Structure 1
């Protein structure tokens, strides 16, 4: 099982006094040269005029953009402490212990416009950079990372099931091979709400639900799934479970069904649909 996550949009800075990032200590050190190049380009853009526009963020985030100029010396913390959005809160990756923590180290990868990808325990500083950015000196980040991530990930994914919780911008940086010697079973996760007999795609609750799914796959007893069918069996253990509370209304919602579609003729991926109500 390989679980692919997007980063949280906001990042929590590490406490003052922490040691800075060590690129060679990050997962997949073969990505270090590209990480160096992106770090340098990001610092240059972030220190110049029009930085927020170049990085596709609002002017209210100017302070976070300015922080990009000191990432080499900024304090770093585990990725589980830096990524603190809805998905990560629901997954509770920082609370894992024992076998579940070891499984997360091996199986969870967060994709990043800056780092390419990181594992939960990798120590990084807080930064502001989306994979959708066209970074001067590097180019479109998804395009720049694509061949490097393929080399770093395809051997790991081969013969396994890839549980893909990423958004489109991060999915563009790496797509698992679904044919050939390094083929994986690629499963993308979609969350829909059922109400009055109709099913509609949801957004905020989708992030939370994907986080619950991630936490469940890591904490459940038994071996991790290694195929799409085994994944579906594991996910159906959540059927009927209350998995969240609506923001604003305080009403709880539960997962009522999980279904697995047939492989796409174009990409080879399958859609795991989680139905909440």
Structure 2
């Protein structure tokens, strides 16, 4: 099973690993696109105003441009430690050890506008590039990534796709399990969750990543989620709804 996570805009600083080496990343067939985008980000970083515009940042976020400027020379850390924020707080991989940590490392991957997809332990630097960004001289990122990324993500294994819209657009995955988070009030009325959406997806990812039983069907995903205390319903052949009361 592959659990595909969205990235986060916020990323941990620093790291103890050697500078970025694309050959050290999983899925080397993505390296030509990774290199083009990384080089373009570094070149763009020489023009701070242009970078802010392309990346959709404010002047107060100019430090993000500095990160891109040092993309090839700054230290790295494992992807699941680099990404931060609500989903990754709920996932809490740093608390895992032993067999649970091994299972999580083999099952979790993260979508990335810069790297396409990275596995849990892939060493990456801090950077800033969102799925909806438009780089000068490049078409939309979905047009850049789809030809390279879609063949890589075609698999016989079960894929649980937790990506947000901008990242789901970078590669379509036919047959992947998708999850929508909704809240249900006392009258039974439901609405899509926005604020806590990432936290619930992080909890689901943690349950799937660490389960001793590895799901291979949609029904088995539901079973794992329910054992973790979540209410999950099937809404279609591969569509799930995670129901909360918040």
TM range (shorter): over 0.9
Cα shift at 1:60: 1.7
Write the distance in 1 (CA, Å) between the matches of 2:186 and 2:109. Answer: 37
1:260 aligned to 2:234?
yes
Task: Name 1:102's counterpart in structure 2.
Answer: 102
Higher relative contact order (Cα pairs below 8 Å, separated by 6+ residues): 2
**2:168 pairs with 168, 171, 178, which one?**
171
Alpha-carbon distance in 2 for matches of 1:238, 1:189: 16
Which residue of the other structure, out of 158, 163, 183, is the alignment partner of 1:161?
158
Supply the distance in 1 between the matched residues of 2:138 and 2:101 (Cα, whole angstroms): 34
> Alignment length, in residue pairs?
243
Corresponding position of 2:190: 199
CA contact (8 A) 2:104 2:210 kept: no
CA RMSD, Structure 1 to Structure 2 (Å): 1.6
In the other structure, the counterpart of 1:182 is: none
1:214 aligns with 2:205: yes
Q: Using the TM superposition, give the Cα deviation of residue 138 of structure 1 relative to its aligned residue in structure 2, in angstroms.
A: 3.2
Q: Structure 2 residue aligned with 1:230, among 220, 223, 241?
A: 220
Deviations 1:200-226 (A, max 9, x none): 1112211001001111112223x2101
Question: Which residue number corresponds to residue 121 of structure 1?
Answer: 121
Residue deviations 1:225-270 (CA, integer Å, cap 9, x gap)? 011111112112133xxxxxxxxxxxxxxx4x2101123xxxxxx3
What TM-score do the two structures reach when normalised by structure 1? 0.83
SS across alignment from 1:204? coil
Measure, in 1, the Cα distance between the counterparts of 2:227 and 2:52. Answer: 44
Tell me by how many angstroms 1:196 deviates.
2.4
Aligned partner of 1:273 in structure 2 is 241
Partner of 1:252: none
CA distance in 2, matches of 1:100, 1:118: 19
| Secondary structure, counterpart of 2:232 in structure 1 | strand
Q: How many Å separate the matches in 2 of 1:97 and 1:22?
A: 27
Report the counterpart of residue 64 of structure 1 in structure 2: 64
3-state secondary structure, aligned to 2:110: strand
In the alignment, the residues of structure 2 paired with residue 171 and residue 100 of structure 1 have an alpha-carbon distance, to the nearest angstrom, of: 27
Q: CA deviation at 1:103?
A: 2.4
Is residue 191–residue 206 contact of structure 1 (8 Å, CA) maintained in 2? Answer: yes
**Under a length normalisation based on structure 2, what TM-score does the superposition of the two structures give?**
0.93
Residue 143 of structure 1 pairs with residue 125 of structure 2: no
Q: Structure 1: 5+ residue runs without aligned partners?
A: 179-185, 240-254, 264-269
Contact 2:108 2:209 in 1 (8 A): no
User: Mind listing any 5+ residue stretches in structure 2 that lack a counterpart?
Assistant: none
Q: Alpha-carbon deviations, 1:109-164, whole Å to 9, x = none?
A: 1011111111111111111110111212332112211121122221xx22x32211
